[in-house]
Homo-oligomer: A and B are copies of this chain.
Amino acid sequence: MSKEIILDNNTEELLRKHRLSVTESRLKILNLFMDQPGALAHGDIEKKAGEKFDRVTVYRTLQTFVEKGIIHTIPTADNSVRYALCRDECSEGHHHDHHVHFICTSCDTTYCLDDVVTPELKLPKGYVAQQIEVLAKGICNECSGK
């Protein structure tokens, strides 16, 4: 008899779409991402998940999700990469996250500003850009309102 997991099946379909086995930890981790607007670091996930989440499972799950194009990484200036859901269609191994990321210096939330497109750049001769990441730091919507 299969365990009864009550979760919306958006997440389940997402996994199936990428030909990944539907497992409890994957569903839970996906839901963590869905349930909040920002990005999560590896550590956040271990904490938010309550008590028990094997560290190795989290590492491998995140790695799988990145490879499949379900989440993407966001660079930060400290040593903590954060992950966020890919809103748009990201094909396997090829992300199209041409939007700006915003890190709030007050509440430390990381946002994907999906509507802000990364600007064009004029690079010096010989440099060919394949991908451009824009990282803005400042005060977010929530924190500036108060």
Contact A133 B79, beta carbon cutoff 8 Å: no
Pair A78/B81 contact, Cβ less than 8 Å: yes
**CB of A132 within 8 Å of the partner chain:** yes
Interface 1/0 per residue, A117-144 and B, CB below 8 Å: 0011111111111111111111111101
The verdict on A11 contacting chain B, using a C-beta distance below 8 Å, is: no
Bound-state Cα–Cα, A125 to B79, Å: 29
Contact in complex: B121, A134 (CB < 8 Å): yes
Inter-chain contact A124/B130, CB cutoff 8 Å: no
On whether A133 and B137 interact (CB within 8 A), knowing A75-B77, A79-B80, the answer reads yes
Closest chain B residue, CB of each to CB of A75: B75
* Number of residues on chain A facing chain B (CB within 8 A): 41
Distance between Cα atoms of A56 and B47 in the complex (Å): 29
* Assembled-state Cα–Cα distance A20/B102 (Å): 35
**Contact indicator B75/A135 (Cβ below 8 Å):** yes
The yes or no answer to A116 lying at the interface (CB within 8 A) is: yes
Other than the given A75-B77, A116-B124, A129-B137, 16 more pairs (CB < 8 A) read A73-B78, A75-B75, A78-B81, A100-B123, A113-B127, A119-B121, A121-B136, A123-B136, A126-B140, A127-B136, A127-B140, A129-B138, A131-B136, A131-B138, A133-B136, A133-B137
